[in-house]
Structure formats: C-alpha cells, structure tokens
Amino acid sequence: MVERVRLGIVGCGGMGRRHLAGLAELARSDHNNVDLVAACDLNDANAAALADEAEGLLGHRPTVFTDLETMIERADGLEAAACTTETGTHHRVAADLLSAGIHTLCEKPLALTIRGCNLVLDAAARGNAILSVAENFRRDPINRLVRALLDDGAIGERQFMMEAAVRGRDTLFITPWRHQKLRGALTLSTSR
C-alpha cells in the first residue's frame, strides 16, 4: 500500500480552492497519496468553507484552524502543507512551516524580496524540510530547455534573470497581484 502524505492547506481563499480542486482530481486517479487533514485561514469562514467543500470532494472534512501555530501543534500527523496565503505573507508562513519540519509547497512568488526568499531557504535547512514553489510554467518545453542550458553552463554563469511581456491597451499582465505594491512583481531571481 502507498504511504499517504498528511497535508494542510494554509490560506483558504481562491488559490487554496484551486489547490483543493487539484487534490480532488488527484483523488480520482490511481496516484492519490495525499490526505487533506487541515484547513487554516485567519478568516474562520474561509477555512470552514474550504473544509466543507473538501468533505464533498474528498469524502472527509479536514480540521479547521484559524492560527498557523495551533495547526502546526495540533493537526494530527501533519507532514506537508500548501501555502496559498496572499502573496505578501508567503515568506512568513512558509518559513514557519518549514522551521517546524513541515514539507511546504509555496505558491509564487516565494517572497517579494531576496531577503524574504533567503529567510524561507534558511528555514527549510533548519527544519530539514523540502520546499517547492508552485509554478505552472516549469513544465513548459522552452522553460525546460532554458533550465537545462543554465544547469549545463552552456550560456555561462547565472547573474540575473528577468522575464517580461509587452502588451498594448490597458490590460494587466496575467493577474492583478503582480501590479499591486507590496503584493508581487515580475520575476526576481538570483543564485544563492
């Protein structure tokens, strides 16, 4: 029998619901190895609504928490978490989870500053936990090629990377959070 990972979702708004939908899809497959055991959000109504939805989709209701520290202490056998809070809090939430030894999938951006990113990386090392950043473009063939070229050293040593797109009219680039001060920005990358 496949060992199942006991997972919590931290941040039960729109992105938390997207992660729940992914878990529901996984549950319908032959590869399901995850049990959602906790739903955590500062807003109790959000956490309860996600837990109710999870019960309908997954057949069981995760325990609801409104405090991260309490979830870390009391969620039975919690091994991993999806950090789907608002972008400005990713670094703090992910660092707390990782410091507690909880493997963490953090939505992008990992942090809004390099200092925030380093805080998360240091917490992962201290907690001996795995950190992953959710990015749906990582499987895109051209991005995989660029990664292979960088890893191979074929185009030199990484110094800085910036990705940008130019469009006309008055539309926002993909999603609005990228344009809100203190909420996010276009790609920020550095070698550690």
Looking at the fold, whether 116 and 151 belong to one and the same domain comes out as no
Identity of the residue numbered 65? F
Check: CB of residue 78 under 8 Å from CB of residue 105: no
Looking at the fold, whether 145 and 130 belong to one and the same domain comes out as no
Tokens of 2: 């496949």
Looking at the fold, whether 116 and 152 belong to one and the same domain comes out as no
**CA angle centred on 101, ends 5 and 17, rounded to 5°:** 50
Instruction: Say if 187 falls within a structural domain.
Output: no
pLDDT for position 142: 81
pLDDT for position 166: 56
Looking at the fold, whether 159 and 127 belong to one and the same domain comes out as no
User: Cis ω on the peptide bond leading into residue 109 (within 30° of 0)?
Assistant: yes
| Higher-confidence position of 48 and 155 | 48
| Higher-confidence position of 56 and 155 | 56
Looking at the fold, whether 92 and 173 belong to one and the same domain comes out as no
Q: What is the pTM of this model?
A: 0.76
Looking at the fold, whether 100 and 168 belong to one and the same domain comes out as no
Looking at the fold, whether 32 and 107 belong to one and the same domain comes out as yes
Cα–Cα dist 41/15, whole Å: 12
pLDDT per residue as tens digits for the range 18-49: 999 999 999 999 999 999 999 999 999 999 99
Looking at the fold, whether 172 and 80 belong to one and the same domain comes out as no
Q: Any bridge partners for residue 35, and if so which?
A: 6
Looking at the fold, whether 149 and 126 belong to one and the same domain comes out as no
Number of structural domains, the chain? 2
> How confident is the model over 117-141, as a mean pLDDT?
89
Looking at the fold, whether 118 and 98 belong to one and the same domain comes out as yes
pLDDT band at 158 (very low <50, low <70, confident <90, very high): confident
Whichever domain contains 126, its CATH number is 3.40.50.720
Residue 78 structural domain: 5-134
Looking at the fold, whether 126 and 158 belong to one and the same domain comes out as no
